Amino acid sequence: MSVRLRLSALRRWVLAVPALWLVIFFLAPFLWVLKIALSKPAVAQPPYEPVLLLADSWAVMIEKIAALSFDTFEIVMTDDLYFAAYLSSLRLAAIATWLTLLVAFPLAYAMTRAPKKWRAALVMLAIAPFWTSFLIRIYAWIMLLKDEGLINKALLSLGLIHAPLSMFATESAVLVGIVYSYLPFMILPLYNALERQDPALLEAASDLGATPFSAFWRITVPLARPGILAGLLLVFIPAVGEFVIPDLLGGSDTLMIGRSLWSEFFDNRDWPTASAVAILLLALLIVPLMVYERQQVREAKP
Amino acid sequence: MSGASLLRLERITKSYGGTPAVQDISLDIPTNEFFALLGPSGCGKTTLMRLIAGFETPDTGRILLEGIDITHLPPHLRPVNMMFQSYALFPHMSVEQNIAFGLKQEGCARTEIAARVADMLRLVQMTDLGKRRPDQLSGGQRQRVALARALIKRPKLLLLDEPLAALDRKLRHETQFELIQVQRETGTSFMVVTHDQDEAMVMAHRMAVMRAGAIDQIGSPREVYEEPQTHHVAGFVGETNFFDGRVVQYMPGGVEIETTKGLRLEALCRHHPAIGARVTISVRPENLRLSSPGVFSNNGGIGEIIDHVFREGLSSVRVRLEGGDVVHVRQGQGEGVQDWVRGARVFVSFAPERARALLV
Amino acid sequence: MKRGLTPFHLSILALGFGFLYVPIALVVFYSFNASRLVTVWGGFSTQWYVSLFANEALLQAASVSLRVAVAAGALSTVLGTCAAFALQRFGRFPARSLFAGLVYAPLVMPEVIIGLSLLLLFVGLGIDRGFWTIVAGHATLGLCFVAVVVQARLSGFDRSLEEAAQDLGASPARVFRSITLPLILPAMLAGFLLAFTLSLDDFVIASFTSGPGSTTLPMRIYSQVRLGLTPEINAVSTLLIGFVGCALLVASTVNRLKAPSQAR
C-alpha cells in the first residue's frame, strides 16, 4: 500500500510541473493579452492604461477594471486597413495551401510507389529541409527571385527574356515562400495516408472495370481524405499568421495580419491594438480547427 | 502427482466500473500440479490470473500462498511468476539478459546468475542462442525464452497466459508436450489460462471451466468431459449434442424427458429437477448409435442422413431428425459401420448411462 | 496498373526533391563565391568564412542561440516527457481536457501570438527580458513537440513489458529505470532534437522575448537579410546546414544502432 501512495505523490508532481509551466507561460500570458486588448493606448511605460498593479487596493483595482473597454476591438474591426489585412491573409494562405497540396500530392504519391527500402530515406529527405533554418530557406528564395537574382540571370543569359522579371517583393513571391516552407507539413500526412492504402484496392477497382484514372479519383483520393485534411490544416493555420515570409519576400503592399501585428507592436508601439489584432487572428483560426476536430470525431466513429 | 495446498483463493470478487469480472471464486491448487483455467474470452480467466500475479487487487476475498495472505502484496514481492501471452520479452536486452532479469532484481552474485541462466537455456534447449535479441528469434524460440525467464526464480507457482496462442498449429502441438515435461522436471505448479479446450485436455492434471466470472466445474479432463455438470461445460469442452425438453418422470439415477420435438429420452442426472422442469440432455457424438429403423425403437429418434465424411479414422455422420434438429454422430471403424448413404433413413439412439441430463 | 516506379513517378520525385533542395544547394554553392555580389560568380574562395569568424556580433549571437537551444531543449524534454506520461498513463484526472488543450494549443498557435503574449506578461510582471525569457518561450513551444513525440511512443508501448519486469521482482522505480526509460529514450532524444532545432531556428518568439545583449543568431541573420544579400549570410547558412545535417546523420545512425528491432 505504501508503494501505491508514494507513486501517486510522484504522479502529482509529474502532472503538476508541466501543467504549472503551461499555465504560467501560455495560459496566463494569453489572458494578459486579452486584458491589454481591452485597455487604451497611452504614451507611457508600459504604453497602455489602466495598468493593474498588485499593490493597488481593491477599490482602485475595481475602478481600473471598470475602465476596460471594447473600444480597441471596435477600432480594429471597423478599420478598413485591418479588414483588408485579414482578408488578404486568408486569401494568400488559402491559395498557398492549395498550391502546396498540388505540389505535395504527386510527390507523396510517387514516394509510396518507390521500392520499400527507399521509402524511409525518401521520407527523411522530405522532412530534412524542415530541420534547416527557416530564415535560410527564405533567404535562398530572395537570392533566386530578386531582379538581379539567379532566375533572372539564368533566363537573361539564355536569351529567353531581355529585361529582368520582377518577381521579388510580390504576392507571388510570398506564395512561393509559403509553399516551399510548408511543403514537408503537407507531404508527411499525405504520405502516411497513401502508404497505408492496400494496393489490392486499386487492383480490385481495375478488376471491376475502373480505368486507372477513375480508380485514382474514386479510391485513392477519398481514402487519403484524412491525410489531405490534416495537411491542409497544418499549412493553412501557420500560413495565416505568418510574419517572416511576407516581410522578407513580400512587397510593402503585401498585407498580412501577422505583419500588421508586428508593426503595430514594434513600430507604432500600440500594444492594445496589437493585442486586439492577436485575439481576432486567433478567433479566425478557431473556425478551421473546429471543423477539423468535428471531422476527426466523425471519422473515428464508424 | 499433487501434494499440500499451495495456492488458495477465498471468495474472490473483482469488478470494473460496476461490471463484475470475477464473482465469488474459491479455488485450491496443490503443489506440483498442472492446472488449467479454461473458458471463452471475457469469462474472467485472465482477470483471475492477474489477481494472483498481483496486477489487480480483489474487491473482496483473500489470496493465500502457502498459508500466507498475499492479497495486497505488490507483484514484485510475490513468489509467483507469469508468462505473458505476448511473451513481453524486453526488446532492448539479449536472451541471456532477459532470462537473468529476475535474478538481477534479487541481487544474486554474477557467477550464480550465469550458472542458472545456463541451466535455464539448457532446459528450454536454447543454449546457442543466448546472445540473440528477441527480434532475431522465431515465435517458438521466443516462447521458450519467456518460459525460461519466468522459471529462473524458481517460483512456487508459474502462471501462463495463453502460452501457445501465438504459435502455429504444428508447433503448438509439440510445445504442449514440452510444457508438460518442463512442469514435471521443475516440480513447479503450473496454472495455464486458455480458451482452447484441446490444450487444457492435453496438458492439465485438473482444469476449471469458467463462464461469466464464475467457475462452472473443476475436475480432471476426463471427469469434465464425461461428467459435465452444466450445459456450458458440456458444450464448451468437446463436442456434444443437446436435446432440450421437460422432465416427465424420474428413473433410477436419472430422468426421462419429453423433448420439444416430442421424443421421449432417458439419461442419467446428478441434479434433482422437478417434474416439468426444463432440462437438456447432452450426448457426445461417439455415444450416439445409428441403426436401421425398426431394429431398435427406444431412447432415440428417426432421421435422415445429411452427409457422411471420413476423417482421422472416424466416420462422422450428420443426421437431421424428424422435427428438424441436426445431430452429429461419430463412429470408429469396426463398430459395424455401414456405408450410410446420404438420404438414408436411420434410427439414432443412445444408452441412458452414456448421456447426462443437465439443468438449463 | 503496374505497381512500382514508372518513369513518370521518377520524374515527379526528381522535380519535387529538386524543388526542395536546389535553393538550399545554391545557398551553399554561392557561399564559396569570391565576389561580393552574391549572385555574380567570381571564382572560388573561402574568404567569407574567414570574415565570419572575425564578426564578433555574429559569433556572439551564435553562442547565445546555442546556449538557449540547449537549455530550452533540455527543459522541453523534461517537461514534455512529464506531460506525455500524464496524458497517456494517468487515466482521467480533473481538468484533463484543459491540460491536453494547453499541451496541444501552442502547436497551432501562430508564433506572433505566443511571442506577443509572453512579452506582455514579462513586461506586466516587470521581468527583465534576456537569456532566460527566450529559454522560457522556446521551452513552452518545445514542450508540446516533445509531448507529442513521447506520447506517440508511449501509446505504442506494450504495458506487459513493465508488468513482466514487476512480476520478475523489479520495484516500480527499477521497472522505470530498466524497462520504461530505455524504451522511450529514442523518443525523448528525438523530442530533444526537435525542441533544440526549433529553438535554434526561431526568430519570431526570440524577437519578442529577448532583451539587450541576448540577440540570437536568427535575429542577427534577419536584420542582415533585410539589408540585402551578403555572401556572409551564405557562409553562416552553410555552416548551419552542415551542423544540422551532421546532427541528423548522427541521430539516425544512433537510432539504427540502438534499435535493430525496427528492422523487422
pLDDT tens track for B279-299 = 999 999 999 988 888 766 688
Give which of A105, A130, A240, A113 is closest to A184, Cα–Cα: A130
Same domain, B192 and B309: no
C91 neighbourhood in chain B, CB within 8 Å: none
Position B85 pLDDT exceeds 80: yes
User: Are B72 and A1 an interchain contact pair (Cβ–Cβ within 8 Å)?
Assistant: yes
Same domain, B243 and B220: no
Alpha carbons A108 and B238: distance in angstroms, whole number: 54
**Which residue of chain A comes nearest to C242, CA vs CA?**
A132
Alpha carbons C69 and B12: distance in angstroms, whole number: 55
Same domain, B349 and B252: yes
Q: What is the mean pLDDT of residues B316-322?
A: 90
| Confidence at residue A4, expressed as pLDDT on a 0 to 100 scale | 44
Q: What is the mean pLDDT of residues A145-163?
A: 86
Closest-CA distance of chain A to residue B72, Å: 7
Question: Where do we find the cell 551532421?
Answer: C246
The domain boundary, picked from B181, B202, B232, lies at: B232
B74 neighbourhood in chain A, CB within 8 Å: 3-4
| Confidence at residue A19, expressed as pLDDT on a 0 to 100 scale | 93
C237 neighbourhood in chain A, CB within 8 Å: 133, 136, 139-140
| Confidence at residue A75, expressed as pLDDT on a 0 to 100 scale | 77
Q: How many domains does chain B have?
A: 2
Which chains pack against B, by 3+ Cβ pairs within 8 A?
A: A, C
Instruction: Say which of C26, C85, C102 has its CB closest to residue A140.
Output: C26
Closest-CA distance of chain A to residue B174, Å: 36
Same domain, B207 and B270: no
**Which residue of chain B comes nearest to A2, CA vs CA?**
B74
Position C252 in a domain: no
Instruction: Say which of A131, A150, A212 has its CB closest to residue C244.
Output: A131
Same domain, B87 and B11: yes
Position A155 pLDDT exceeds 90: no
| Confidence at residue C177, expressed as pLDDT on a 0 to 100 scale | 92
| Confidence at residue C69, expressed as pLDDT on a 0 to 100 scale | 95
A1 touches chain B (CB under 8 A): yes
Q: Is A288 exposed, middle or buried (0-12, 13-18, 19+ CB in 10 A)?
A: middle
Among A144-158, B181-195, C62-76, the least confident range? A144-158
| Confidence at residue B71, expressed as pLDDT on a 0 to 100 scale | 92
Query: Domain-by-domain residue ranges, chain A?
Result: 73-300
Mean per-residue pLDDT of chain B:
88
- CATH code of C217's domain: 1.10.3720.10
Provide CB contacts within 8 A for C124, sequence distance 6+.
Answer: A32, A46, A52
- CATH code of B251's domain: 2.40.50.140
C9 neighbourhood in chain A, CB within 8 Å: 109-110, 113-114
Closest-CA distance of chain A to residue B73, Å: 8
| Confidence at residue B336, expressed as pLDDT on a 0 to 100 scale | 58
Same domain, B228 and B249: no
Which chains pack against C, by 3+ Cβ pairs within 8 A?
A: A, B
Q: What is the mean pLDDT of residues A9-24?
A: 90
Instruction: Say which of C20, C23, C112 has its CB closest to residue A262.
Output: C112
The domain boundary, picked from B192, B217, B232, lies at: B232
pLDDT tens track for C61-86 = 999 999 999 999 999 999 999 999 99
Q: Which alpha helices (DSSP H) does B86-230 contain, by range?
A: 95-106, 110-123, 139-151, 169-186, 197-203, 221-226
**Which residue of chain A comes nearest to C236, CA vs CA?**
A136
User: Are B149 and C168 an interchain contact pair (Cβ–Cβ within 8 Å)?
Assistant: yes
- DSSP string computed for B181-193: HHHHHH--EEEEE
Closest-CA distance of chain C to residue A80, Å: 22
| Containing structural domain, residue B344 | 239-359
- CATH code of B58's domain: 3.40.50.300
Position C6 in a domain: no
| Containing structural domain, residue C66 | 58-232
A178 touches chain C (CB under 8 A): no
| Confidence at residue C264, expressed as pLDDT on a 0 to 100 scale | 31
Mean per-residue pLDDT of chain A:
83
Among A213-217, A225-229, B105-109, B111-115, the least confident range? A213-217
CATH architecture, range A73-300:
Orthogonal Bundle (1.10)
Alpha carbons B132 and B94: distance in angstroms, whole number: 5
Position B342 pLDDT exceeds 60: yes
Encode chain C (264 residues) as per-residue pLDDT tens digits.
345 678 888 999 999 999 999 999 999 998 898 888 777 788 888 888 998 888 888 899 999 999 999 999 999 999 999 999 999 988 878 888 889 888 988 887 888 889 999 998 898 888 889 999 999 999 999 999 999 999 988 988 888 999 999 999 999 899 999 999 999 998 999 899 889 988 998 999 999 999 888 999 999 999 988 888 888 889 999 998 888 888 878 777 766 665 544 333
Q: What is the mean pLDDT of residues A95-107?
A: 95
Position C79 in a domain: yes
pLDDT tens track for A197-247 = 887 888 788 778 788 888 888 888 888 888 898 899 889 988 998 999 999
List Cα–Cα distances, B98 to B86, B142, C263, in angstroms: 14, 11, 20
Which chains pack against A, by 3+ Cβ pairs within 8 A?
A: B, C
Closest-CA distance of chain C to residue A137, Å: 7
User: Are C168 and B102 an interchain contact pair (Cβ–Cβ within 8 Å)?
Assistant: yes
Position C74 in a domain: yes
Beta bridge partners of B348: B290, B301
Alpha carbons B183 and B343: distance in angstroms, whole number: 50
Beta bridge partners of C151: none
CA angle (A222, A225, A229) in 5-degree steps: 155
Q: How many domains does chain C have?
A: 1
Is the separation of the CB atoms in B88 and B28 below 8 Å? Answer: no
Position C240 in a domain: no
Q: Round to the nearest angstrom and report the end-to-end CA distance of chain B.
A: 35
A7 neighbourhood in chain B, CB within 8 Å: none
Instruction: Say which of C19, C118, C222 has its CB closest to residue A135.
Output: C222
* Residue of A8, A124, A133 to mutate for C, most C C-beta atoms under 10 A: A133
Of the two residues C25 and A62, the one the predictor is more confident about is C25
Surface of B (55-84) touching A: CB under 8 A = 72, 74
Q: What is the mean pLDDT of residues B33-60?
A: 91
pTM of the model: 0.81
φ, ψ of residue B23 to 5 degrees: the values are -125, 110
A1 neighbourhood in chain B, CB within 8 Å: 72
pLDDT tens track for B254-280 = 899 888 888 889 899 888 888 888 999
Same domain, B292 and B189: no
**Which residue of chain A comes nearest to B71, CA vs CA?**
A1
Closest-CA distance of chain B to residue A229, Å: 36
Instruction: Say which of C163, C167, C260 has its CB closest to residue B135.
Output: C260
| Confidence at residue B274, expressed as pLDDT on a 0 to 100 scale | 85
